Structure 1
């Protein structure tokens, strides 16, 4: 299979996998939102940063090192596996004893038991990360989709059953742990690789040379990206935290799907041609254009239709989340491009650049949130947009260190798509002024279809290359 077909096939199956898995979980949380209170989601939002820390540290960037390393032996895989299991145990014990102090910070005693149970997901991540890395390295995305699907279905059944019988916030925990546990079991049953009784400190050190900087970078990104939950959870009501959490989740669903597709497919793809920089540069330019062509209209479209969307999906009691969702979507426009530029740096093993960029960006993030705090809740939320764009610029700057594709080149590349997307946004906002007395469902359909026709029409008139690539892709799949 040539590189283009391999990329298209990989993206297709990663899309199916991610769309189904995230879609099932997304539907599950929507149904739970109708059964639970905003306060329940506020509690989970408060500890989300803890779970993120544990999952990242357990892996320590070692899986990414396995994917990028061209020649891995059995010892490499077994070493990484045992290291992940060891770290999962260490971090579970740490958070078990830290739980009372975290609960005191938020003045929420119920967080103690939530943290201790929710942190069991560290073990699920540790026991399945190597199997997943091997499948990604071999671009077996179709198999990943098959193996992950049953766990998602079981998880949502557990969560909804618990929600129906009044278990409150524990329904969310049950859904998440059920999904993770059954996906781990499926990966063990469906993977031909099993750990052997072998371990090498030399191999561990080798992978840590790449993974450690990536670990620190990921921690900075994930932990400080959750600073909004921490600040809002600490200084605002539990209900407000729940509104912010659901707004963030609604905006993250489509962009997470796209980011995971980009991340899972482009990293092994670019790693395979890293020695041919000119070819990689041309492919990267097309990926930037196509990625933004898909992401920008979706996120700006969600921002424009957020009111009927929230009414339809979550209900009237969640309407205070609408302004938050509208703002957050503008920052989410840039997330897939951030992931693409970071993957380029990973391809060349430049975890040093990734780490340096993250240190700088998180200093800016902390400073901006500190200043915004004095101007109120919505100033804090607008920080998500400002910091997202700054992060993109810094990632573009770093990417130019490994291939000749500058910030200016990338911005020029995406400018026509952004102009069409922002025009579509204002077009939908204008149409909403005339959406009198329509049900949320009808209003959402009319606005979405109108925006879609507007975007495709102007993309065609301006001859956006990614549109014609998409047409060609659809024709090939049909034929």
Structure 2
């Protein structure tokens, strides 16, 4: 494992190596705040999406938004060249190299925005949505804002300051949602998402700067810049590949099936992301920093990873099974009959969401242990295998075929490769199997209960509630034997 240090940091300072009990308390506190934050924000986004889908925007507008969002997410993955992670990962006082990080991030984000501004019409046309060019130009202003904000945000993550992050994210949500709703109901269409995103990101930048004072200072040290780029570029490449894997399906659907089908697919994909975003995002705000502190102890890292994986899978499986088994009734109840075509792809996308949660946690663990080359190889292999399978799936079975193609590649190829990479980092199959066994068993029993209950009770709203409640009760009983493994030891090894 590579040891990552700044050029002038020497050895880690005492403040960076907290006592085990203190570290465990910080991680648990940060995880709780992060989970609360994510749940509240996602519930708010969920309610906003219902309002927009039912009363303001149709599938075509959602398709345009999906294109713009996809391009933005892919560009954000390479926005600051990966150097922002040094604020979290490097030993020593980060204020020594933060000015150089800020300068690099701002320059790279500015150049990237200039490139997308000029090429927006071409990019939108290639993706089958020429009307998305203007939305792209506005929404991608978030690149510049993110390039500046990643330094103060990195300080908050490094210190596990998730309580402050919750306040900042709340400001972001309130402002972005207000702007989006006002503009959408005023007839701005997909452009309402773009201006809402810009407004929210500005609020987040101001909040991060206030919560981490003194971090927005520009500077330049050539030696630090070389070390930062050496550290960050492989991570940026891996992150870009990871985002391309998640978003290439949107490009395939848009260019192959058109904006309306893309709108249905985007809605289904967003629904499949509910458990991923609520649980996985909460964990990822502390997992990288936590794994980084455990990286020098293979035993502690393996225990921390398996326990974190067990908690994530245990919390995610019931949500995925419920949404997959009750896809049609849920889509009709929440969004209306107009959006029912999205339900056809949802069960497969829920399976993909469950796989993504494990892969994202593995990604953070491999980054923390310095396995950057392995990450690039895994993500590159995933993308190369995925593109032709997605295209074939789209042409054969539309958005359902795209969803099936995703699952086929993820389960058949990517999961085994990630397991191999984790094995090289000292995390064997046994702790991973132990973490996943009871939740997957409970999910299988839960799916059987849903299938039988639907046949007996039908798809009405009352039946939906009864079936969901019964399935969750069965799941809880099935996973009870794993409670000691998940919560029995509160040590520094818990991530």
Give your verdict on TM over 0.5: yes
Residue 276 of structure 1 deviates from its aligned partner by: 2.0
Structure 2 residue aligned with 1:249:
270
Structure 1 residue aligned with 2:362:
341
Superimposed CA distance per residue, residues 441-474 of structure 1 (whole angstroms, 9 cap, x where no aligned partner): x3332222111101011223xx1236872999xx
Superimposed CA distance per residue, residues 256-293 of structure 1 (whole angstroms, 9 cap, x where no aligned partner): 22222222212111211222222222222222222211
Specify which of 123, 144, 153 is matched with residue 102 of structure 1. 123
Residue 107 of structure 1 deviates from its aligned partner by: 5.0
Structure 2 residue aligned with 1:402:
425
Structure 2 residue aligned with 1:305:
326
CA distance in 1, matches of 2:208, 2:303: 35
Residue 325 of structure 1 deviates from its aligned partner by: 1.1
Structure 2 residue aligned with 1:64:
85
SS at the partner of 1:59? coil
Structure 2 residue aligned with 1:465:
483
Specify which of 48, 58, 76 is matched with residue 55 of structure 1. 76
Q: Which deviates the most, 423-432 or 240-249?
A: 423-432
Q: Is the 8 A contact 2:311 2:486 kept in 1?
A: no
Residue 373 of structure 1 deviates from its aligned partner by: 4.2
Instruction: Name the CA shift for 1:195/1:186 in 2 (closer, same or farther; >3 Å).
Output: closer
CA distance in 1, matches of 2:281, 2:75: 20
Structure 2 residue aligned with 1:289:
310
Mark the runs of 5 or more structure 1 residues left unpaired by the alignment.
473-479
Q: Is the 8 A contact 1:289 1:414 kept in 2?
A: yes
Superimposed CA distance per residue, residues 107-165 of structure 1 (whole angstroms, 9 cap, x where no aligned partner): 54322211111111112211211111111011111111112211211111111111222
SS at the partner of 1:71? coil
Residue 177 of structure 1 deviates from its aligned partner by: 2.0
SS at the partner of 1:193? coil
Residue 425 of structure 1 deviates from its aligned partner by: 1.4
Structure 1 residue aligned with 2:36:
16
Provide the alpha-carbon RMSD of the alignment. Answer: 2.1
CA distance in 1, matches of 2:102, 2:394: 42
CA distance in 2, matches of 1:238, 1:470: 50
CA distance in 1, matches of 2:361, 2:128: 39
Matching of residue 434 in structure 1 with residue 485 in structure 2: no
Residue 171 of structure 1 deviates from its aligned partner by: 2.0
**1:202-213 residue pairs with structure 2 within 5 A?**
202-213=223-234
Structure 1 residue aligned with 2:438:
416
Residue 246 of structure 1 deviates from its aligned partner by: 0.4
**1:147-158 residue pairs with structure 2 within 5 A?**
147-158=168-179
Residue 374 of structure 1 deviates from its aligned partner by: 4.4
Instruction: Name the CA shift for 1:448/1:174 in 2 (closer, same or farther; >3 Å).
Output: farther
Residue 336 of structure 1 deviates from its aligned partner by: 1.8
How high is the TM-score relative to the length of structure 2?
A: 0.89
Residue 337 of structure 1 deviates from its aligned partner by: 1.3
Matching of residue 5 in structure 1 with residue 28 in structure 2: no
How high is the TM-score relative to the length of structure 1?
A: 0.92
Structure 2 residue aligned with 1:476:
none
Residue 225 of structure 1 deviates from its aligned partner by: 2.4
CA distance in 2, matches of 1:424, 1:470: 25
Instruction: Name the CA shift for 1:7/1:194 in 2 (closer, same or farther; >3 Å).
Output: closer
**1:4-403 residue pairs with structure 2 within 5 A?**
4-34=24-54, 35-377=56-398, 378-389=400-411, 390-403=413-426
Structure 1 residue aligned with 2:471:
451
Structure 1 residue aligned with 2:12:
none
CA distance in 2, matches of 1:167, 1:33: 14
Q: Which deviates the most, 215-224 or 1-10?
A: 1-10
CA distance in 2, matches of 1:381, 1:419: 23
CA distance in 1, matches of 2:459, 2:318: 26
Q: Is the 8 A contact 1:48 1:226 kept in 2?
A: no
Superimposed CA distance per residue, residues 376-403 of structure 1 (whole angstroms, 9 cap, x where no aligned partner): 3222220121233232322221111111
CA distance in 2, matches of 1:123, 1:26: 27
SS at the partner of 1:198? coil
CA distance in 1, matches of 2:369, 2:489: 32
Structure 1 residue aligned with 2:16:
none
CA distance in 1, matches of 2:339, 2:139: 25
Mark the runs of 5 or more structure 2 residues left unpaired by the alignment.
1-20, 491-495
Instruction: Name the CA shift for 1:437/1:53 in 2 (closer, same or farther; >3 Å).
Output: closer
Q: Is the 8 A contact 1:75 1:200 kept in 2?
A: no
CA distance in 2, matches of 1:444, 1:466: 32
Instruction: Name the CA shift for 1:276/1:116 in 2 (closer, same or farther; >3 Å).
Output: same
